[in-house]
Amino acid sequence: MADQAYTSSTLVVPDLNKVPRHIAIIMDGNGRWARKRFLPRMAGHARGVEAVRGTIRAAIERGVEYLTLFAFSSENWRRPAEEVSFLMQLFIKSLQKEVSRLHENGIRFRVIGDRSRFEPVLVRAIEAAEELTAKNTRLHLTIAANYGGRWDVLSALNRVLARQPGAARIDEESINAELSMNFAPEPDLFIRTGGEQRISNFLLWQLAYTEFFFTDALWPDFDGKALDQAIVSYQERERRFGRTSEQLVALAGGEVERHA
Ligand code: IPE
Ligand code: IPE
Ligand code: MG
């Protein structure tokens, strides 16, 4: 269950002048970054870890509260075995190397996704990192690994059904409470690097009203400046959630009820 209940972002209008509270990123383009340099794809993944470090630092400096990074999709097992195994080893090594630094910086670390296919050593490293950082609140850093949006929704539905056998209907709140991001508000801003414009089975349910930003920058080249571009683009938008512009002006003036 959620530590804290969040109202669906489709019901509350966030203040756009602010930095997005929750940013979710599909970190794509590592392979192409390497290929451009005549390097093996693995070199791109290794540089991708550097970009993760820089992005976490920038997110903290900008005051982002939740940063969710897609590191490995449930479909990525289809890649050559050698690459999959390299990515898993990189995950283990990065965790072991970075966890104390994450903790010192007040970062709460979580992993979402199906852990059942991970090696025990990786599962233990994840659990240790989650435990160590459990009380931190400066930035909620979530890594999506062996994650799929459909898996997330289906797992949530199955948990709801298990708790209410024979239930005639399931409501949105009970699904929200069982989703793997139940601790966070829905993403305000979604970023995908690497030029593709698709969701690739990332947070399907939670992206219902998220603002999208696509950039051709390849993930290893992503940095604080690139993050700022995405944030500026976000701040230029009008999030209407089905309302009219005029209603939003009235909302800002406090003349209309913010909810409903
Ligand atoms: C993203 O980069 C990292 C993972 C999916 C693990 P890619 O490896 O997909 O890089 P491209 O898309 O081949 O350039
Ligand atoms: C999607 O990247 C997931 C991650 C970044 C982990 P891919 O590069 O595998 O996406 P598709 O399959 O090409 O859409
Ligand atoms: Mg890719």
Rounded distance between C-alpha atoms, residue 259 and residue 183, angstroms: 21
Please give the distance of CA 71 from its chain centroid, rounded to a whole number.
9
Type of residue found at 57: R
Pick the atom of ligand 1 nearest to 71's CA: 6
Cβ of residue 30 lying under 6 Å from some atom of ligand 1? yes
pLDDT tens, 32-58? Answer: 999 999 999 999 999 999 999 999 999
Is residue 76 within 6 Å of ligand 1 at its C-beta?
yes
Query: Is the pTM value of this prediction over 0.85?
Result: yes
Is there an atom of ligand 1 within 6 Å of 220 CB? no
User: What length is written for the chain?
Assistant: 260
Q: What is the pLDDT of residue 1?
A: 39
Per-residue pLDDT for the chain (260 aa), expressed as one digit of tens each?
A: 344 445 555 566 666 668 999 999 999 999 999 999 999 999 999 999 999 999 999 999 999 999 999 999 999 999 999 999 999 999 999 999 999 999 999 999 999 999 999 999 999 999 999 999 999 999 999 999 999 999 999 999 999 999 887 778 889 999 999 999 999 999 999 999 999 999 999 999 999 999 999 999 999 999 999 999 999 999 999 888 888 999 888 888 776 655 55
CA distances from 187 to 190, 210, 234, 258 (A): 7, 6, 12, 19
According to the model, what pLDDT value does residue 2 have? 42
Pocket test for ligand 2, best of 27, 28, 190, 203 (most atoms within 8 A of CB): 28
- Phi, psi dihedral angles at 26 (to 5 degrees): -95, 110
The CA-CA-CA angle for residues 98, 21, 222, to 5°, reads: 50
In angstroms, what is the span from residue 228 Cα to ligand 1's centroid? 22
What are the two backbone dihedrals, phi and then psi, of residue 118, each rounded to the nearest 5 degrees?
Answer: -80, 150
Strand, coil or helix: 155 = helix
What's the Cα-to-Cα distance from 216 to each of 180, 194, 227, rounded to whole Å? 29, 5, 13
Partners of residue 238 on adjacent β-strands? none
Q: Which two tokens stand for residue 23?
A: 């940013």
The residues facing 195 across adjacent strands are none
Residue 63 tokens, joined: 């005051």
Q: Which residues are catalytic?
A: 28, 76
Question: Rounded to 5 degrees, what are φ and ψ at 159?
Answer: -70, -40
Domains located in the chain, CATH noted = 22-258 (3.40.1180.10)
At 167 the pLDDT is: 77
Could you give the CA distance from residue 89 to residue 184 in angstroms, rounded to a whole number? 28
Calpha distance 248→239 (Å, rounded): 9
Could you report the per-residue pLDDT of 231-247, keeping only the tens digit for each? 999 999 988 888 899 98
CA-to-CA distance for 157 and 120, rounded, in angstroms?
27
